[in-house]
Amino acid sequence: MDIVHAHAAKNTMEGIGEFDGTDYQFFHSGGRGEHPAWGTKLFDYHKPEVLHFLLSNVKYWLTEYHLDGFRFDGVTSMLYHSHGLGTSFDNYHKYFSLDSDLDAVAYLQLAAEMCKEVKPDSVLIAEDMSGLPGMCLPVTDGGLGFDYRLGMGLPDFFIKLLKERKDEDWHMGELWNELTSRRPKEKVIAYCESHDQALVGDKTIIFWLADKEMYWQMGKGSHSEVIDRAMSMHKMIRLLTCAAGGDGYLNFMGNEFGHPEWIDFPREGNGWSYYYARRQWSLADNSDLRYSELQSFDAAMIHLTREKGILTQQPKLIAVHEDQKTLAFERGGLIFLINFHPEKTFTYKLSEYKQYKVVLHTAWDIFGGHVDHIKNEGMLMPAGAVVDRRSAMVLERTFDSL
């Protein structure tokens, strides 16, 4: 569950703003108690009473609702007096300086320690854009005690690619670096689109790819090059992110099947309407629509990831070809062959392996592609693998390869 202890609403009617008539019961007084970008109140973590209030909230969710962990919201804002606004964290001095809010650091350590005492197997994820060293180290080793850091740069990176570059201008080396650059032994949760893309104000990956075509071309009987490209890229981006982007994988409600609309909560700008404050799960259940094909791919990808324990190992790059727009890497005993080229098909030669079989293909017909999965799944390939344009294939070595 997302837990928000970085700030609080100013609400004085329903919330705790000026609960006792002052502005300093829970929060810093004056300007320090106001978040300059969010228009919210900032907790005073130096007060024991505030620490008890927040820690009791953490314990409440674990004991009364039996949650399995938290994603701590806005950790970057907590860690620095400047809230990390406008800061490029390009050297260690910026992490450990007078800008550091040591009271907030101490609170996060207390919260992490208490979570592990109350529920030792709880999972703690930090939403930290700054990449603070030690975020995922135990408190006993001087860390903050989180299990994972959220790979927040990935969604922004993919949206920037889709908004600003043509497919043929994607840089494979840059893509691989963005997916795999992280501190040694620091676990990262990878995701390719976040709540920022699923809410009004931005567009989801499928919307950037397909735009208005989604409203009348998502039937399985329709033929649209725009939708075909969107389907292919949607599956490839997900497979690549899941397989190479981190030590865990996160999806955001409906993105797995390409939900066509964002979430818009009631507000003055939409006449306080609840119409878009929902997800249309029925789209994925409708066998006449292509959303079901994206859903089927997501299920197969997650199943393979769990079955092979892919995320328990680190990805190893095999080859990058910029002109071909291809990537090849190995993880969890599987070989991932990615072809982002919009026009050309390529054959991968993997001479170090004698034989391998196909275990997943983004272009299988059951996922909306053109390859017969019945004939292709488990197919043995002793020489090389042919990967069509805008598709990705996952191979597994057979015992004959050893």
Q: What is the DSSP letter of 330?
A: E
AA letter at 81: H
- Residue tagged active-site, from 44, 127, 178, 202: 127
Residue with token string 């703003």: 17
**Residue 356 in contact with residue 398, Cβ under 8 Å?**
yes
101 carries an active-site annotation: no
Which residue in 73, 99, 264, 377 is the catalytic one? 73
Rounded Cα distance, 152 and 126, in Å: 10
Burial, 264: exposed, middle or buried (Cβ in 10 Å; 0-12, 13-18, 19+)? middle
159-186 in b/e form (b: 16+ CB < 10 A) is bebbeeeebeebebeebbebbbebeeeb
- All residues at 6 or more sequence positions from 223 whose CB lies less than 8 Å from its CB, including other chains: none
Is 117 considered catalytic here?
no
The answer to whether residues 286 and 227 touch, using CB atoms and an 8 Å cutoff, is no
Q: Which helix (H) or strand (E) holds 235?
A: helix 225-244
Residues classed as catalytic = 73, 127
